[in-house]
Chains A and B, each alone.
Chain A
């Protein structure tokens, strides 16, 4: 009765910490083991409970001020996440120092990479916000992937991977065409509890990349590349929700 994998491996699977081989083995095991399925569901519901409760505790503004003064930080108005709010003057000073003192190219290229990533993410968040305007969310409204997928045919020069994950808590709502960074992309719309999740997809010639994530203005984003496709998921749902969606797409 008791499956020992329901004790441990299911957690590694849930947390996306199994290597590809073990993940595939576990996936196969899931088909036959109702106990692991139940455990996995319970883990997802535990994560939802945690996300709904929003238990993250932030510093008070006054305490942050004290700390920044302790740490000799001048003009102490720096926010907790650099992506969320940027103090340009501080950044400029920091960049100048880095350029001068590290003699260069290495620190400079690192900076450029970071800002390019942040810029792309902010474009994606903008596209997400545009989509939330009335009437903008879906061009094809269907919860059936076999309706949504053909809809894109002839409208794009690539076939986006359209999948429904209703049983895993991400219900496909539909799709639309969108423009991000001057390029026509597929946007897949999912419902995660009360949250709208946009998944933007377009082809890329770059090689597969592990997910990178961040947040801008309270919106979470996660970006990954797989099999010639660039994916950007964005939502006001919690970050672990997007991690989970990323895993679903990658399986």
Chain B
């Protein structure tokens, strides 16, 4: 695995800060990976981005003065993933789309019907959402974040978290193919 950040000049926390880092941040490694995994839709990309984000968190840890460590870490992960997406979008525009690397485009109903099991069905539907909807679903439903935490991680104003979630969920319901009733009563 390539490691663009760590090098000889890598900061090392003193033992007190190292303990604080391990106590506060390490419990959220899976949360970091899970968010990266869903934002980037590929395990390999997610590993690279999670690694980059964690090294960044490590390096800037002295700037974290308490509060919600998970939200702080996930914010870094999210920013790293968005830079990643921006960078790759430019590359992707010029190259052939590679399913293996970049995940799948929006699934057709046929794809969904073929994707038999629940996990695959949900996974395809979730992947078809734009990242800004996908992340609020992941943060709320998988990570159990409060609206306040979602706001601080995603930089969405707290007042619009609810409506963003509303749109994200409706789109997910539609992608899952059981939101037809919703669509009929609410325009998107």
Contact = CB atoms under 8 A, between A and B. Distances in A.
Interface string B148-188: 00000000000000110110010011001011011001100
Nearest to B54: A67
Contacts of B26: 68, 71, 73, 78
Interface in B43-80: 43, 46-47, 50-51, 54-55, 58
A243 B186 CA distance: 28
Secondary structure dominating the interface of B: helix
Interface string A70-88: 1111000010111000000
A105 interface: no
Contacts of A58: 30, 33-34
A49 B176 contact: yes
Contacts of B12: 72
Interface residues of B, number: 55
B29 A67 contact: yes
Secondary structure dominating the interface of A: helix
Interface in A2-26: 2, 6-9, 11-12, 15, 17
B181 A42 contact: yes
B169 A46 contact: yes
A97 interface: yes
A11 B38 contact: no
Contacts of B38: 55, 57
A54 B126 CA distance: 13
A59 interface: yes
